[in-house]
Each structure stands twice: as structure tokens, then as C-alpha cells.
Structure 1
Amino acid sequence: MKNFLDENFLLQNKTAEKLYHEFAKQMPVIDYHNHLPPDQIANDINFKNLTQVWLYGDHYKWRAMRTNGIDESYCTGDKSDFEKFEKWAATVPYTLRNPLYHWTHLELQRYYNITKILSADTAKEIYDEASAKLITPEYSVRNLLRKANVKVLCTTDDPIDSLEHHKKIADDNFEIKILPAFRPDKAMNCDDAAAFNAYVAKVEAASNISVSSYDDYLKALKNRHDFFASMGASVSDHGLEQIYAEDYTDTEIKNIFAKLRSGTNVSYEENLKFKSAMLVDFAKWDHEKGWVQQYHLGALRNNNARMMRLLGADTGWDSIGDFSQGKALAKFLGKLDTTDQLAKTILYNLNPADNELMATMIGNFNDGSVAGKIQFGSGWWFLDQKDGMVKQLNALSNMGLVSKFVGMLTDSRSFMSYPRHEYFRRILCNMFGEEIENGEIPNNIEWVGKVIQDICFNNANQYFGFGVK
């Protein structure tokens, strides 16, 4: 029997152990998509306690606490930080077989060298020990990133963002690249005319361009896209239920925009056409600049209307959606490919039923111009756990080239999430190690080790053009 979370955690054979400890473990981290607040990095803050770094904004933990019968006041409410932590600690023993159990104890070990199991009984001791470290200079957010061996970190930023915090970070000559990523979801969201016009006003202010037509709107957004590029951005990102790929004419889109600007809500069909047009324009700009575009597809968001009204978005009321993805995705990518304006693209899938669809879709548009030009992204959100990662890796291996995969990312709001890269790497090494020992892969440790290192770091470094060592 193995000990819980020992040095060979998730490594089920000697070959897997060798692959992880000699090849994967030491590789740096490129985190090309996350939701970390750049202001906290710019100011190199220290969190005051374990709750602040661990529970603030973490809807994964909130969902588990709610399921355990914990009142909302201990999740997003006004209870004290330690009271919230106590309730989380009391919940942890009941998260067995949920990835939260593994992540929680990996993070305690890797950041604080705490090997005790978190529970109601150990809550005070662990809280005090970790919090005492967090307030020291060694545990500032920049040092937390250094501890995790992070080399590049791409935040997620709205087009109207001033990027002032990124400028401060760059001016400080911080050795870890902290780069913005262009996330224009709000810019194309025309579900509500009033909200859309309020956003257009913000685009006008940010770009200093008056918007009275669709062409003006594109000019203002392109101004922001150019500004992001000047600040080091080379990545865009979209969080969508599904790709929009309706047929439209320029005249139709201009009329729809005018209708929105008049304060009139548009029809369902007009909504889809407008979003389709905007996605194409954004994609053309990405291709023009040589950026990588990312599409996170399949989330059914804000399902609890009552809690959405009380708490707002991103508070833990989302689920996997069952949208039809294939036809529109092929049409959208094909439209760009036809005019040779298809940028390097990563597709993230939230419904595991669509894994094989995504794994085969990327092959339709990998044209040989760039290794792995179109990527099937790592398991994300509900799927960034052992089962989800294995299924994604198997689908990609069976129907594409896993050797050209750009690997793991955190997609997190927590500075303590970087052990997820370790988690992924252990799972990856175990898969390869098992197949070597089964005689399914040649016992060429050096070659397989190189492929693993490529997946962990080298492929992403080359694909994104970050040029770090």
C-alpha cells in the first residue's frame, strides 16, 4: 500500500516514476491562460491569511461547501476569514475522490511543507502555520510564482482595461513574463441593448474614438487590440457556449448595430449574426498579428437565477452544457482558412462527450504551416481532474499527435493553483510509463522523456513564441 501523496503520488510503476522525476518534474511552467489579478502582481502583495489566498473567489471550494450544507455566509458572506476557513476545513474530509482533496493537500505540501490532513481538528494549526508564512516577504505573490517555477503568465483582460498594472510589472523588470490576453466577450454581447450601449461608451473612452457606426466600433476595438499588442499581448481568448457561424452581409451587421445603438433589443437571429461577424473580425486581427486565439466552449453559465441576482456571475452556479459544436465550428474555422486568415487556435471543450469531435476537428485545419497549429486544449474547468485529463489525452493521442500538445494551464484565480501542473505531469507520465511497461511503446526513456518535456513546456514555448529558457 502506498502512502497518501508521497513522492510517487499517481505514478503506478517504476517507468512512470523515472519519467516524472528525471524529465517532467524540473520543467518550468508556462501558464498561458489564467484569471489572476494583475494588480496583485504589480503591487507584489502579501495575503494576510490562508483564507484570503485560498477561498476568496474560489467557486470550486464554494460549491463543495454548499453541497456539504454550509451556509452562504461562510462562502461569499460576511463571516470572518477564520470562520470561513473552519467551514472549508470541515468540508475537506468529505471531498474524497473529488480533485479538491488532492489539490488542497498538494498545495499545503508544496507551498508550506504541511503534510497533515486538513480537517476540522487540524484547521487552527494549519491556518496559523500557513498564515504566519504568508505574511512574510518570502510569500509575496511574486515569490509564490517563483516557487512554482513560472516563466510566463498570461492574464485575462477586457479590451477596455488600461493595462496599467502590466505596465508597472514591466517597468519593474520582473523576470517572469506577465502578459495581457485580449478577452472581448463583452464587446460582442448584444443580448441586452442597454448593457451593450453602456459597454460601447467604455470602449469610446478607452480608445478615445467616437462610435456612431459599426465601422467606428470596429475601429475603436482594433485600437484596443493594437494597444494590447504594444503591451506584449500575443494571445486572445473567448468564453462561449458555442462558436457562432451564421451567414451575414455587411449591411445586415451595420443595421443590427444601428438598431442596438437606438436602444432596441435585437432578435435571436440578429443576435447570432452580430456575434458571428464580430468573431470573424477578432480572428482576422489575431491572424494579422500572429497571435494565438483560444476558444473555451461548452459552459452553461449562471443556471441559478436567484443566486445570480444575489451574487452575480462567477460565483459557482455553472455547469457543463450540451451544445451542438461540430457544424458551426467547422464552418467558422473553414471561413478563415479559405482566405488564409486562420490564426493558431486552441479549442477547449467542456463536455467530454465532444472530446473525439474536438480531437478530429483540429486535424481538419492543421495545414502543415506550423506544428500543432490547431490544438485540442487541456481539460478545463470541470474536466481539469484526473479522469478529465486522461480522457482528453487519450482522445488527442488516438486521433491526433499528443507529442505536439501545448500542455496544461491553470485557468485559475488563485496563486496557489500551480500544483495543478504537477498533477497533470504525474498523470501524463503515468500514462506513458504504463504503456512502456505493457510493451505498447518502445522502452526508449530518453525519447519518451523528451516528448514529455515538450508537452510540459517546450511545445508551448515554441508555439506562443515566448522564447524563455
Structure 2
Amino acid sequence: MKNFIHPDFLLEGKTAREIYHDFAGDLPIIDFHCHLSPKLIADDHNFDNLGQVWLEGDHYKWRAMRTNGIDEKFCTGAPSFYEKFMKWAETVPHTVGNPLYHWTHLELARYFNIHDLLNSKTADNIYHDASEMLKHKDFSVKNILRKMKVDVVGTTDDPADTLEDHARLKNSEVKVCPTWRPDNLIKTDDPEAFSAYIKKLEKTAEKQITNYADLLKVLDERHAFFDKMGCRASDHGLDRMYYTDAAGTDPDKAFKKLLQGEKLTEEETEGYRFRLMQELCKLNHKRGWVQQFHLGAMRNNNTRLFNKLGPDTGFDSIGNPQDSVKISRFLDSLDVNNELAKTILYNLNPADNEMFVTMIGNFQDGSVPGKIQHGAAWWFLDQKTGMEKHLESLSVLGLLSRFVGMVTDSRSFLSFPRHEYFRRIACNHIGNEVDKGIIPYDREILKNLVEGISYKNAKGYFGF
């Protein structure tokens, strides 16, 4: 019987198979946005077992397990990783139709050459076989990156981070770049937490921050340090874009109120966040970075379990469609003075696809191919249907050939087959268009298109 993960997995037609195997399958990986630990890479860590590397911190799997009626203790509780893995294996057959089913079996095949379908009957053997492999030096974190042909990893790092682990990775065979993620500076709903964060930033910067001008000076210095350490991108995880044209917006007054433990009004909040985001984006332009905006997550919906487990534990969802006016006004507020950096906009609500693709066209200026990007299908859209819709929207309303391609956005070192998953889906989409006569069968056009969106465009866009 043919393995589920076989050479032509997801490739429906002859052209799709041809262009995947000829142009995409063997290319290296640039994973310019993820949440991998630079410390684990610098330490060249070996994981103890398959349960640990697969289930620790993976809220995608936790959501599926909860939906399957698995007790919370097997997601975030005290049971052993073996016990948790067995509950995950029990859940896997119920994920048919979900990308988790594809990812699970791609990862078993690519890392461990295991082609059995994971279920309660096969779980014990799979667990012990894979766990034994993980203990060997061949499966250290750096060797996992080599095995998957990873050229570049872009981690996610706070301005208050010392980047000491990145310093240890300066001459690494796989380039590991920090990514500037200053989200804590706009989390103003809890003044006490905000003030505690500013103290942390002061400690790292060895500078006192008593007003907005102090903050901007420290941020410029930290930004310069990140640049020296190889950072070439920022990332901003926002519920939405901020903008106000209200007169009298005073970010210094708002900042001082927060340090004094006072809550901001809605108007003050919008003004402070807008003005600070402007300044952060000007720094990105100043140093020639790419800036990424992940927009539209509705986070921490379950108050009871958020209070018990904290953020990033699987209780987030797709938010309302984005405010196109605020996105336009924010980008224009930078572009009007020619201070708009290369920008990638990711939407989480699929209803925003066409709006985002047409929005990026407003700010292309001919200075860089694809200067403003519609980012890869993200989070809940990171699946076959979501990717196909993204590719279709970008094809008909933009230039698919200039797309910078896929990211894992993952905390797992076993997630790199998501690039293969994307490449197969993209080649299948393109191949089907060729077979329908919508795209010509021209080997040069197809080669440039597939190699570009799989690897080359990202390499050129970020300057890696």
C-alpha cells in the first residue's frame, strides 16, 4: 500500500508534480519569522523524547485535544510526556481534514522516516522509535536545522532582551537573526505591568526612562544594537492598526500617566499607540529593515483558563475584519515623508484578503520589487484552503511572482515541513492553472515563479 506521505503528496496533476520536483523540492529554507528559542540553538540542545519536542507549548495540538474531550492535564498539566503523547495519538485520527493531520505525518516522515499513521495502536512504537533517535547527536537542534536545509532562522526578540544567545550564534552555519518585537510597549491596558516592563528595559539599557523622549532615545539605541547583532526585521503582533488625527495627542503625557499607574482614556490610548508605532517604524526605515505586521488576532477569550494558564495557550481566535481606513492612514503617515520601510502585512481574517492585496498596491513605489507584501496565510489560515485563497487573491490583484513566501511562525523545531507543505500547495495551485490554460506552460516563467516564492524572493528582500 502506498504511504500516505508519498513523493506526489498533494500534487494532483502532471504539471504540479513536475514543477514541484524540478524547481521547489530541493531548495533550502528561509524561515524569517518564528518563535524558536535561540538559547536551544546556541546550546545545540537534544530533546529527551517525542512528547516533549511535539507537545510542550504547542497550543495548536492542545486545542485539538480539548476539542476531542481530552482532560486539560494532558495538555498543560503534570502527566509525563509519554502520557501526553498517548492522548495526542488518540486525538490524531480525529484531526482528519485539519492541517494537524498533514503536519503530523509530514514531520514523522521527514525527521524520522516513519510512515505509519499515528493512532492509539501505533503510538507506543512510534514514541519509542522517535524518542530514541532524538537522543542521538544527529538529532541535536543544529543538526535538525541542517537536516531540513534551513539557511536562515528569524527568531522573535523583545527590545529588553540582551541577545546573549544570538552572540553565541554569530558564526553559526545556519544564520540565526534576531527580530525586534516591541509589543510590550503598546500593552497599555495594565499600567502596573507596563511600568514593570519599562523597569526591565531600563535595566537592560542601563538608562533611566522617565519620559517619552527618554523612551525614544533608549529604543533608538536598542534598535542600533539589534542591527549590529544581525537583526534585519521587526515584527508587530497587533489586534489592529492604530491611527488618529485628533489634535493635541500627547504621547509624553500618556507615558507619564502609565508610569504613575493611571489608566489611559480611549483617546489617549489610540494617540500613544499611533505615535509610538510611527516612531518605531521610522527606526525600521532608518536602518533599512523589513517591518512585519500580524493583524487581527482576538486573544485570551477564555477568562477562566487565561487566569489559570496565561497567554498563548490556545484560547485565541480570528477577530473582526480590519479597519482599512486606519491601515491606509497609518501607512500614508509614514510614506508622506518617504519613511515607509519594506512592509509585510499579514491578515488573520480571510475576509480581508482582497482588501490587504489592494492596500499594498497603494504604497508600491518602484524602489524595490514587492516593497509592500501581503504576508503568507497565517495561523488559522495556515492550511490548504487558506493558502489557496491567499495565492489566488495575490495572483489576480497583485504580483504572485514577487511574493516572499512561507514562514512557520512556530515554536517547534519539528515544524519546518510546513515549508514543504506550502510549496506543494503552491505548485499544485500553479500547476492546475497551467493545466487549465490560465498560465502558459513556459519552463522559464514557471521556474522563476516557483523558485522565487519558495526561496529566492525572501533571500533578496531581506538581504540574507
TM-score range, shorter chain: over 0.9
Q: Using the aligned pairs only, state the percent identity.
A: 54
2:69 is the alignment partner of 1:63: no
Q: Distance in 2 between matches of 1:17 and 1:142?
A: 31
The aligned residue for residue 222 of structure 2 is 224
| 2:249–2:268 contact (8 Å) kept in structure 1 | no
Matches within 5 A, 1:346-361: 346-361=344-359
Match of 1:234 among 232, 235, 238: 232
The aligned residue for residue 286 of structure 1 is 284
Deviation per residue, 1:173-194 (Å, 9 max, x gap): 2211001000000012211111
The aligned residue for residue 310 of structure 1 is 308
The aligned residue for residue 254 of structure 2 is 256
Relative to the length of structure 1, the TM-score reads 0.97
The aligned residue for residue 268 of structure 1 is 266
Unaligned runs of 5+ in 1: none
Match of 1:337 among 335, 338, 354: 335
| 1:112–1:133 contact (8 Å) kept in structure 2 | yes
The aligned residue for residue 440 of structure 1 is 438
The aligned residue for residue 392 of structure 2 is 394
| 1:66–1:72 contact (8 Å) kept in structure 2 | yes
The aligned residue for residue 320 of structure 2 is 322
Where 2:243 maps in the other structure, the secondary structure is coil
The aligned residue for residue 183 of structure 2 is 185
The aligned residue for residue 137 of structure 1 is 137
Q: Distance in 2 between matches of 1:250 and 1:369?
A: 35
Q: Distance in 1 between matches of 2:264 and 2:333?
A: 25
The aligned residue for residue 167 of structure 1 is 167
The aligned residue for residue 195 of structure 1 is 193
Match of 2:382 among 366, 381, 384: 384
Q: CA 1:250/1:2 → structure 2, altered by over 3 Å: closer, same or farther?
A: farther
Deviation per residue, 1:90-124 (Å, 9 max, x gap): 00000000000000000000000000000001110
Q: Distance in 1 between matches of 2:437 and 2:269?
A: 54
Shift in Å at residue 6 of structure 1? 1.4
Shift in Å at residue 234 of structure 1? 0.9
The letter of the residue matching 1:357 is M
The letter of the residue matching 1:5 is I
Unaligned runs of 5+ in 2: none
| 1:242–1:323 contact (8 Å) kept in structure 2 | no
The letter of the residue matching 2:31 is D
Q: Distance in 1 between matches of 2:131 and 2:250?
A: 57
Deviation per residue, 1:196-237 (Å, 9 max, x gap): 111111111111111111100111122111111110101000
Shift in Å at residue 250 of structure 1? 7.4
| 1:241–1:323 contact (8 Å) kept in structure 2 | no
Q: Distance in 1 between matches of 2:90 and 2:258?
A: 50
Where 1:388 maps in the other structure, the secondary structure is helix
Shift in Å at residue 438 of structure 1? 1.4
Relative to the length of structure 2, the TM-score reads 0.98
Shift in Å at residue 308 of structure 1? 0.5
Runs ≥4 in structure 1, deviation > 3 angstroms? 248-251
